[in-house]
């Protein structure tokens, strides 16, 4: 448990460090003075100056930061952020956002080239050099699967009716329709579901419903037939770039669809807001399902963070870019005090929302 917490915390800190490194490198490139590059937040534990920048380790392990001359306060120095042309300031801000996409691309390249990327396939597709498996993608709340303890990411290996085997041979179920047909034939009977969760194998008993709610199956899960599709090393970067683009496009579309479903009153819209605690819990679950799943989740979180950070909201990089667009149109900077007040207001609003969601995460845990 402690090892999992350390790995999850290290991963999240590493993402923020790489994000800040994007700002840092482009600031250096354009001759902007970076006063400090810190890991964690103050109070400072240790700091060492190399060149003209202080590199520090700080007590609160919740991220990282760069302190750039002239970014928060107006400075007349030629090395300040505020003195640089709009296009250079925009690239410095975009550096942090783009770094998230770069991280996702590199992780996808590693997964695709080494272990293969989990990909949903049809039942009639026969993947070469790899075996397919049936994985649970989503579990409906209060369904038989949910009450029995089945979780997203679990792999169904076998099914039984009490002591009767579904098949005589000891083979993994490899098609989603096998599970669907079996469950349909044994509604209102106790069945045993054999699951693989990471390196752990388990047996779970449940009773499929005869009349499930609309939009849910007899046991309340969404299944997919999955195979780890691997590509030659020289094709891996191309496939990784495609996957990064596809997920960047798919995430906002899925979010909009889920919000519309929630507004429409659907019980299970697939939308669940979580804070740092909830994200840490999800990452811990992914780690127990194997390092491949964990790395996939890190890549997806990285894309989420890129999309979130690019939003035109004060206190985010996208908000700072929005102010630059206004400056470009008006041909003069936005009033510094107004920008600071808006940034502070939205920062405290986001902190309050994060605290509220974190409280809900804690309640959900217990």
Q: What CA–CA distance (Å, rounded) separates 249 from 110?
A: 21
Domain spans in the chain, listed from the N-terminal domain onward: 2-112+299-365, 121-229
pLDDT value at position 216? 86
Q: What CA–CA distance (Å, rounded) separates 327 from 47?
A: 36
pLDDT value at position 53? 94
pLDDT value at position 170? 38
Q: What share of the chain is helix, strand, coil (3-state, %, to 5)?
A: 50, 20, 30
Distant-in-sequence, close-in-space partners of 27: CB < 8 Å, separation ≥ 6 = 33, 34, 66, 68, 81, 92, 95
User: Residue 169's CB: how many other CB atoms inside 10 A?
Assistant: 5
pLDDT value at position 130? 66
pLDDT value at position 98? 96
13 — phi, psi (to 5°)?
-65, -40
User: Residue 360's CB: how many other CB atoms inside 10 A?
Assistant: 16
The CATH architecture one would assign to domain 121-229 is Roll (2.30)
Q: DSSP for 237-275, please give it.
A: HHHHHHHHHHHHHHHHHHHHHHHHHHHTT-S--S-----
pLDDT value at position 267? 55
Burial of residue 168 (CB within 10 Å: 0-12, 13-18, 19+) is exposed
Q: Which residue has the tokens 């054999």?
A: 194
pLDDT value at position 285? 75
Q: What CA–CA distance (Å, rounded) separates 348 from 70?
A: 22
Burial of residue 126 (CB within 10 Å: 0-12, 13-18, 19+) is exposed
**pLDDT tens digits, the chain, 366 residues: what are they?**
677 778 888 898 999 999 999 999 999 999 999 999 999 998 999 999 999 999 999 998 888 999 999 887 777 788 999 889 999 999 999 999 999 999 999 999 999 888 787 888 888 877 665 678 899 988 888 899 999 999 888 899 988 886 454 443 334 577 888 888 888 888 888 888 999 887 789 999 999 998 888 878 899 998 988 888 878 888 999 999 999 999 999 888 888 877 777 676 665 555 566 777 778 778 877 777 777 788 989 999 999 999 999 999 988 999 999 999 999 999 888 888 888 899 889 989 988 888 888 787 777 766
User: Residue 111's CB: how many other CB atoms inside 10 A?
Assistant: 24
pTM: 0.79
């Amino acid at each position: 448990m402690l090892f999992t917490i350390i790995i999850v915390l290290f991963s999240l800190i590493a993402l923020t460090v790489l994000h800040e490194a994007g700002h840092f490198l482009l600031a250096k490139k354009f001759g902007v003075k970076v006063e400090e590059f810190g890991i964690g937040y103050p109070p400072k534990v240790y700091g060492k100056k190399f060149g003209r920048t202080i590199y520090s380790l700080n007590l609160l392990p919740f991220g990282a930061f760069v302190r750039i001359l002239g970014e928060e306060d107006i400075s007349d120095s030629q090395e300040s952020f505020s003195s640089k042309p709009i296009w250079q300031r925009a690239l410095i801000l975009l550096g942090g956002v783009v770094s998230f996409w770069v991280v996702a691309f590199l992780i996808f390249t590693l997964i695709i080239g080494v272990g293969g990327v989990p990909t949903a396939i049809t039942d009639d597709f026969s993947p070469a050099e790899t075996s397919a498996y049936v994985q649970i993608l989503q579990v409906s709340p209060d369904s038989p699967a949910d009450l029995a303890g089945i979780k997203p990411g679990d792999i169904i290996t076998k099914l039984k009716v009490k002591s009767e085997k579904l098949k005589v041979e000891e083979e993994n179920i490899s098609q989603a329709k096998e599970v669907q047909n079996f469950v349909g034939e044994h509604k209102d009977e106790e069945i045993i579901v054999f699951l693989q969760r990471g390196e752990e194998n388990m047996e779970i008993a449940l009773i499929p419903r005869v009349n499930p709610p609309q939009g849910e199956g007899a046991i309340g899960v969404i299944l997919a037939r999955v195979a780890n599709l691997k590509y030659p090393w020289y094709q891996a970067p191309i496939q990784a770039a495609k996957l990064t683009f596809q997920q960047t496009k798919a995430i906002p579309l899925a979010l909009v669809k889920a919000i519309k479903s929630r507004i429409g009153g659907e019980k299970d819209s697939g939308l669940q807001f979580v804070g740092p605690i909830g994200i840490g819990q999800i990452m811990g679950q992914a780690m127990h399902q194997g390092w491949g799943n964990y790395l996939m989740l890190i890549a997806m979180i990285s894309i989420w963070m890129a999309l979130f950070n690019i939003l035109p909201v004060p206190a985010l990089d996208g908000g700072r870019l929005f102010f630059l667009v206004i400056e470009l149109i008006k041909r003069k900077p936005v009033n510094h005090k107004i920008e600071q007040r808006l940034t502070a207001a939205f920062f405290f609003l986001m902190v309050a929302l994060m605290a509220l969601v974190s409280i809900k995460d804690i309640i959900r845990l217990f």
